Amino acid sequence: MHRAGCLWRRVGAGLGPGLRFGDGAALGAAAGLGPEAEGDPGLLRASSPEVERQLRGLALVRGGFMSTGEEAEVLRELEPVLGRRPYQFDHWDGAICGYRETERARWGEAGRAVLGRVAAAAFPPGRPPTPLVHVLDLHPRGHVGPHVDSVKFCGCTIAGLSLLSPSVLRLRSCRAPGQWLELLLEPGSLYVLRGAARYDFTHEILRHEESFFGGRRVPRGRRLALICRNAPHDTTPDPLGNSPAFIGDAEAEPPPPPRPPQ
Ligand code: OGA
Ligand code: MN
């Protein structure tokens, strides 16, 4: 059983002691999709102008980041790996349904090219994505429920490439659930979540029945995502993947410090 996503996804809104996206000056230098970038505003819908302002540069999507040729080559490479696995419809963490997934570090020419552009465009200097890319294959009837990626295993930036079907990614404020932002993810697009969008909002991929972008229906077919994440600060990713098995363990409060002698 692959352990890729289960460690990253944390169901619900409560946040651990996550790191903030505080390196503003350094981040400004990130090429392409740094916090000053707008992405494509037509691909975003917000519950209010305030939310739009709050998440500007922190949640963005850029269409046409990957060419159709690159998409086809990456799919050719992934199909034999994914095709061997059945879709899972009852995942224990409750965050995701109707999916199969893998992690991949070695890519052909097209994968290397597009993932290199993602690293340069979306990640801050000195905080590159980890070499293992999370490949998530969602069945047409699958969806990703609202969750915040575990702060234990994922750093300040999440960047996702979408292949095959379009979909809608919705962010919802953990503190004020009436506040949301939706991103229209066309095939070939790249989205980036960082800072408040990564820590203070849940994210989800809407199921077919709910897949609307405003008045526009976004029919959900099979959708593939290549998701790049960086490591949390001051942790060295364990190359053997020898990490705690459950998010619940990982997020547990640390034990209290020893009491001073009375
Ligand atoms: C996840 C997730 C979103 C996507 O696997 O943690 O949020 O784009 N996926 O598939
Ligand atoms: Mn996630």
CA angle (59, 203, 179) in 5-degree steps: 75
Residue 163, pLDDT above cutoff 70: yes
Q: What is the pLDDT of residues 66-76, one digit of tens each?
A: 999 999 999 99
pLDDT in the model for residue 230 = 97
Q: What pTM was estimated for this model as a whole? A: 0.81
Per-residue pLDDT band for 32 (boundaries 50, 70, 90) equals: confident
Q: Tell me what pLDDT residue 90 has.
A: 76
pLDDT tens figures, 79-132 = 999 999 999 997 656 789 999 999 999 999 999 999 999 999 999 999 999 999
Taking 50 as the threshold, does the pLDDT of residue 42 lie above it? yes
Does the beta carbon of 155 lie inside 6 Å of ligand 1? no
Interval 200-211: pLDDT, tens: 999 999 999 999
Pocket test for ligand 1, best of 144, 157, 168, 224 (most atoms within 8 A of CB): 144
Mean pLDDT of the chain: 83
Q: Which of 189, 203, 207, 229 to mutate to test the pocket of ligand 1 (most atoms within 8 A of CB)?
A: 203
* pLDDT for residue 56: 95
- pLDDT at residue 30 is higher than 80: no
Pocket of ligand 1 contains residue 201 by CB under 6 Å? no
Q: Both tokens of residue 47?
A: 């519950």
Q: What was the pLDDT predicted at 92? A: 57
The number of the ligand 1 atom at minimal distance from the alpha carbon of 185 is 8
Which of 60, 133, 151, 169 has most ligand 1 atoms within 8 Å of CB, for mutation?
169
Tens of pLDDT, residue by residue over 50-64, are: 999 999 999 999 999
Q: What is the mean pLDDT of residues 133-142?
A: 97
For the cut 50, the answer to whether the pLDDT of residue 167 exceeds it is: yes
Cβ of residue 9 lying under 6 Å from some atom of ligand 1: yes
pLDDT digits (tens, 9 = 90+) for 208-260: 999 999 999 999 999 999 999 999 987 555 554 443 332 222 333 344 445 55
Mean pLDDT of 18-23: 31
More confident residue, 35 or 148: 148
Residue nearest to ligand 1 atom 5, measured at CA: 5
What pLDDT shows up at residue 21?
32
pLDDT above 70: percentage of residues in the chain: 74
